[in-house]
Amino acid sequence: MSDTITLSKEEQAVISALEKLNVIQLNNVVKFMEKQYGISAAAPVAVAAPTVAPVVEEKSSYDVELTDAGAQKIAVIKALRELTQLGLGEAKDLTEKTPAMIKKGVAKADADAMKKRIEAAGGKVTLK
């Protein structure tokens, strides 16, 4: 396939006239043609297929980790005992050895509830 385009005498005359114009004059001609004929001199842009955002699967289970017991350790220990059924000594050990895993494989709603309860008591929790 050849890239050579053959022009008629009339088309060649138009091209010759356009070649003699300066940039401002040529710009005016382009603007006139755009308005008069409803065309655009902009380079055609290939329309890309709409990109589909990668589906980010929400985790179905979370690990709840106590990252800091805070200043109110007794309140955090009580919250841990309520949420995990741990004994007093075990809950106390968790608050002293942060970061400490509280529960693994917890459903999102339960993990959020645990986080809210412990943070209300003064601790800091990370969901992983």
Q: What pLDDT, on a 0 to 100 scale, did the predictor assign at position 111? A: 86
The domains of the chain, with CATH numbers, are: 9-49 (no CATH), 61-127 (3.30.1390.10)
Copy the structure tokens of residue 77: 């220990």
Calculate the alpha carbon distances from 74 to 4, 59, 92, 99, 105 in Å. Answer: 86, 32, 8, 17, 26
Are residues 126 and 99 in contact, defined by beta-carbon separation less than 8 angstroms? yes
Query: Could you tell me the pTM of the whole model?
Result: 0.52
Q: What pLDDT, on a 0 to 100 scale, did the predictor assign at position 44? A: 65
Q: What pLDDT, on a 0 to 100 scale, did the predictor assign at position 10? A: 92
pLDDT along the chain (128 residues), means of 10: 81 88 85 84 62 64 86 88 87 86 86 88 87
Q: What pLDDT, on a 0 to 100 scale, did the predictor assign at position 3? A: 76
Q: What pLDDT, on a 0 to 100 scale, did the predictor assign at position 8? A: 92
